[in-house]
Amino acid sequence: MPEVIRLALVGSPNAGKTTLFNALTGLRARVGNYPGVTVERREGELVLAGRQAVVIDLPGTYSLDPISADEAIVARVIDDEVDEVEAPHGLVVVADACSLERSLLLVAQVMARGRPTCLVLSMIDELRARGGSLDRERLEAALGIPVVEVVGHRGHGLAGLRELCADPSSWSQPAVPPPEDAYERGAWADSIASHVITQPLAQNRLTEAIDRVVLHPLWGTLFFAAVMVTFFQLIFAWAVPSMDFIDGLIGSASAAIHQAMPQSLLADFLADGLIAGVGSVVIFLPQIVLLFAMLYLLEDVGYMARAAFVVDRLMGRIGLEGRSFVALLSSYACAVPGIMATRTIPSPRDRLVTILVAPLMTCSARLPVYALLIGAFVPALQVWGPIGLQGLVLLGLYLAGPLVALAVAAVLKRTLLPGEGLPFTMELPSYRIPTLRLWLSQVGGSAWAFLRRAGTIILAVSILLWLLLTFPRVPVQESLDPAAAASYALEHSFAGRAGHALVPLIDPLGFDWKIGVGLIASLAAREVIVATLAQIYATEDEGTSLRVAIRADRDSNGEAVYSPATVAALLVFFVFALQCMSTLAIMRRETNSWRWPAFAFGYMLVLAWSMSFAANRIVGAIVAA
Amino acid sequence: MDGDLARLSELSPGQTGTIVSVDDAGPIGRRLLDLGLLPGTPVRALRRAPLGDPGVYELRGYRLCLRQSESSRVQVRSA
Distance between start and end Cα atoms, chain B: 10
Closest by CA to A188, choosing from A98, A100, A105, is A105
Model confidence at B1: pLDDT above 60: no
- C-alpha pair distances (Å), A480 with each of A272, A383, A476, A487, A616: 22, 45, 8, 10, 36
Average pLDDT over residues A111-130: 92
Per-residue pLDDT averaged across A258-275, rounded? 81
Q: Read off the pLDDT of each residue in A36-52 and give the average, rounded to a whole number.
A: 81
In CATH terms, is domain B5-78 a member of 2.30.30.90?
yes
> Which comes out higher in pLDDT, residue A525 or A298?
A298
- Look up residue B47 and give its amino acid: R
Confidence at residue A30, expressed as pLDDT on a 0 to 100 scale: 74
Neighbours of A309 (CB within 10 A): 30
Q: Which residue has the higher pLDDT, A165 or B3?
A: A165
Output the 3-class SS for A504-541: HHHHHHCCCHHHHHHHHHCCCCCCHHHHHHHHHCCCCC
B36 touches A186 (CB < 8 A): yes
Residue contact B49–A309, C-beta within 8 A: yes
* pLDDT number for residue A338: 85
State the DSSP string of A258-281. Answer: HHHS-SSHHHHIIIIIIIHHHHHH
Mean pLDDT along residues A376-386: 78
Give me the residue spans of the domains in chain A.
Answer: 5-202, 219-365+378-449, 453-624
HEC sequence for A548-614: HHHHHCECCCCCECCCHHHHHHHHHHHHHCCCCHHHHHHHHHHHCCCHHHHHHHHHHHHHHHHHHHH
Sign of CA dihedral A395, A397, A402, A407: positive
Interface of A with B in 408-447 (CB under 8 A): 420, 422-429
Check CB contact under 8 Å for A182 and B24: yes
The interface predicted TM-score (ipTM) is 0.95
Nearest to A420 among B28, B53, B65 (CB): B28
Q: Which of residues A118 and A281 earns the better pLDDT score?
A: A118
pLDDT of residue A186: 95
Residues of B in contact with A201 (CB under 8 A): 61
| A205 lies within 8 A of chain B by CB | no
- Pick from A65, A201, A424: CB nearest B30: A65
pLDDT of residue A592: 82
Rounded to a whole number, what is the distance in Å from the CA of B79 to chain A's nearest CA?
19
Cα dihedral A232, A233, A237, A241, rounded to 10, equals: -110
Strands (E), A351-429: 382-384, 387-388, 425-427
Which pLDDT score is estimated for A318?
A: 83
Kindly list the domain boundaries of chain B, sorted by start residue: 5-78
Residues of B in contact with A425 (CB under 8 A): 31-32, 35, 64-66, 70
Asked whether A562 and A550 are in contact (CB, 8 A), the reply is: yes
Instruction: Report the distance separating Cα A442 and Cα A301, nearest Å.
Output: 14
Reference A564, options A318, A325, A377; nearest CA is A377
Is pLDDT at A64 greater than 80 in this prediction? yes
pLDDT band at A597 (very low <50, low <70, confident <90, very high): very high
Cβ contact B65–A62 (<8 Å): no
Q: Which CATH superfamily is domain A5-202 in?
A: P-loop containing nucleotide triphosphate hydrolases (3.40.50.300)
Subunit contact B51:A313, Cβ cutoff 8 A? yes
Interchain CB distance below 8 Å, A102 and B60 = yes
- Give the chain B residue whose CA is nearest to the CA of A107: B34
Q: Kindly determine whether residue B50 and residue A96, on different chains, have CB atoms separated by under 8 Å.
A: no
Residue from the list A102, A187, A217 with its beta carbon closest to the beta carbon of B62: A102
CB contact under 8 A, A420 and B27: yes
CB environment A424-450: b (16+ within 10 A), e (fewer): bbbbbbbbeebeeebbebbbebbbebb
A7-21, A476-490, A604-618: range with lowest mean pLDDT: A476-490
Query: Touching check for B19 and chain A: CB below 8 Å?
Result: no
Amino acid identity of A273? G
pLDDT of residue A326 exceeding 90, the answer is no
Residues in A closer than 8 angstroms to B38, CB to CB, are 182-183, 186
- pLDDT for A573 equals 93
Whether the CB of B29 is below 8 Å from some CB of chain A: the reply is no
- Could you give the count of Cα atoms lying within 13 Å of B39 in the half-sphere of its Cβ? 9
Contact B30 A420 (CB under 8 A): no
Residue B66 pairs with which residues in a beta bridge? A425, B55
Contacts with B27 from chain A: Cβ below 8 Å? 67, 420
What is the pLDDT averaged over residues A214-218? Answer: 93
Q: Is the pLDDT of residue A169 over 80?
A: yes
Which of A18-27, A137-146, A216-225, B35-44 is least confident?
A18-27
The pLDDT value given to residue A70: 67
The model's pLDDT over A512-567, given as tens digits with 9 standing for 90+, comes to 888 898 888 888 778 778 777 777 776 655 666 777 888 888 877 778 888 889 99
Q: What is the pTM of this model?
A: 0.80
Q: Does A309 contact chain B (CB < 8 Å)?
A: yes
pLDDT bin (cut points 50, 70, 90) of residue A604 is: very high
Residue of higher predicted confidence among B14 and A414: B14
Per residue in A403-431, pLDDT (tens digit) is 999 999 999 988 877 665 567 788 899 99
**Distance separating alpha carbons of residues A98 and B60, to the nearest angstrom:** 9
